[in-house]
Amino acid sequence: MKKLSTLFFALCLLCVTHVGNAQAIKKADLVNAWSKMTNMFLTTTRDMPAEHFSFQPTKDIAPFGDLVGHTIGANYLFGPTVNGPKVERPEFDAANKKEVVENMEKSFKYIADAIDQLSDDNLNDEIEWFGSKMTRLKAILSMTDHVEREYGKVITYARLKGVKPAGGRGW
């Protein structure tokens, strides 16, 4: 029993030491991750043929263009979290590939520009996030989580239409 207690204590000490030395996420990490996510999302969206922007797997699921349009709107909704100016979601025809891709490019650049204006210290700012207070970093991580989930849906639509999705990693 004494050996087990000593082992447990040693493991706890190792964990505490490791957590204390954990590397913090920096602005440069966010810039890199957002760039990779942007590339994956835009590449796959651009590769989807124009005739499939109205593709709807079932009547209960949004068409491809609307799915991408949701991410465009979310980028503008989440922008002030990053410290971007408030911008309304633009109007566009979600079945029109050219309009969707142009607006997607603008929405991802909007977030990239906002991230670029931050400092490492700004990531620790406490902000309001949908009724909760949290650090700006935590809210940005929630935003990137949303984009990654939406990209997972884009991958599914693309594969259903024989389009190979862009590979890569978020972080």
Q: Is residue 125 part of a domain?
A: yes
pTM, entire model: 0.83
Q: Is residue 168 part of a domain?
A: no
pLDDT at site 159: 97
Residue 132 sits at φ, ψ, to 5 deg, of: -120, 155
Q: Is residue 169 part of a domain?
A: no
- CATH number of the CATH domain containing 31: 1.20.120.450
Tell me the pLDDT tens digit for each residue of 110-160.
Answer: 999 999 999 999 999 999 888 899 999 999 999 999 999 999 999 999 999
Q: Is residue 171 part of a domain?
A: no
Q: Is residue 63 part of a domain?
A: yes
Indicate the number of domains in the chain: 1
Residue 133 sits at φ, ψ, to 5 deg, of: -100, 135
Q: Is residue 3 part of a domain?
A: no
Question: Out of 8-12, 44-48, 86-90, 157-161, which region has the weakest mean confidence (pLDDT)?
Answer: 8-12
d(CA 46, CA 49): 8
> Which pair of tokens denotes residue 94?
């979600």
Q: Which domain holds residue 50?
A: 26-160
Q: Residue 89, Cβ neighbours under 10 Å: how many?
A: 15
d(CA 84, CA 143): 13
The pLDDT mean for the chain works out to 87
Q: Residue 40, Cβ neighbours under 10 Å: how many?
A: 21
